[in-house]
Structure 1
């Protein structure tokens, strides 16, 4: 299954707020009726499926990519759900989004693909790159890169940068201080339901 490129408001109307996908909020519709839930008992499968979809759409992953992360998390020590969230949060595209350099994770992915981002003075064009404590994230020393990031920061500055990151707005430089903890992840999701959803596939 390919990465979702359709209307984003339609997704957040169904699944709730997903800041990584879009900062938009759906217009209230007094006449809107969710026919999929009215007069129907919601199955446990559907609940797990929707939690999985939240994770996939928020981080902008394909089904195959998410399944790969679940398999890696299962082999690691600790809670599979928490390890899964840590793996996704430490991706380069998500880290750039959390630093406020891009309005959404798809926007951050585009910055990486177009080689605007350097890590430890090396250009990285892989959005799934796993950031590690000690990594220094900078902007390429090009006028186009600098102006693009500055415009994003001024227009879409996040209210709060997660505790595992720091950002120097004068140098346009971010740093990864440590691996993110579960309580610092600002995403309303039950990761255990996602693990349960994939329990028969891994």
Structure 2
């Protein structure tokens, strides 16, 4: 299974904003965007002052790359998501974001069972999460309305999940999901609407990128 294994803080600095790839660390002064708010690389600091007006292609490319990095999706898989979204009824950009939001690792993150999407992906890969009472280790599995996502009973005894219960009440779960803190399980109520997706993405630029 292909995945990015390099330093994730470089990805945030390249996009010029926080992508929250390290969870709570991104909210502290240790965040690399706070400490070094310029692109990575040998000439990142000096090039930030030399750039002129960004071309339309560059804006479209950067938006596509940002979406990929936020959800932890590789290029080929992202292309498949876009092709699938373009075949569905409605707005292609919204269809794409709704599909990405319905990934199992993203749902685990949205429910508050992980501090970041990479951590949620790891929880799924290590077999701690069940989908409809069946163990799954596929982070890209797409949930549907009515599906139940829960922590395996064997994993509930782990220190991580014991400590998690004490802090879950402070987390806000999107309205398209529910969460029961007692047994660490939740249900998918409906497909997320555009206003439920609180990521600073302009999906129209992604559509324009693939429409060239």
TM-score where L is the length of structure 2: 0.84
User: Structure 1 154/59 Cα, relative in aligned 2: closer, same or farther at 3 Å?
Assistant: farther
Q: Identify the match of residue 142 of structure 1 among 151, 154, 171.
A: 154
Instruction: Tell me the equivalent position of 2:41.
Output: none
1:174 aligned to which of 186, 203, 212: 186
Q: Distance in 2 between matches of 1:34 and 1:134?
A: 52
Q: Which moved more, 1:129-138 or 1:64-73?
A: 129-138
Q: Does 1:160 align with 2:167?
A: no
| Superposition misfits of 4+ residues, deviation over 6 angstroms | 155-158
Q: Could you report, residue by residue, the CA deviation over 1:137-168 in whole angstroms, capped at 9, with x for unpaired residues? A: 11111146643334456578874211101111
TM-score of the pair, normalised by structure 1: 0.88
* C-alpha contact 1:93 1:105 (8 A) present in aligned 2: yes
Distance 1:142 1:109, change over 3 A: same
Deviations 1:98-137 (A, max 9, x none): 0111111111111111111111211111111111111111
Mapping 1:55-94, distance limit 5 Å: 55-94=67-106
- Which sits farther off after the overlay, 145-154 or 114-123? 145-154
CA distance in 2, matches of 1:71, 1:61: 15
User: Could you tell me how far 1:81 is from its partner in structure 2?
Assistant: 0.1
Does 2:175 align with 1:132?
no
Contact 1:100 1:157 in 2 (8 A): no
Q: Which has the higher contact order (CA 8 A, sep 6+)?
A: 1
Give SS of 2:178's match: strand
State the partner residue of 2:14: 14
Does the 8 Å contact 2:148/2:186 carry over to 1? yes
What is the rounded CA distance, in whole Å, between the counterparts of 2:118 and 2:169 in structure 1?
16
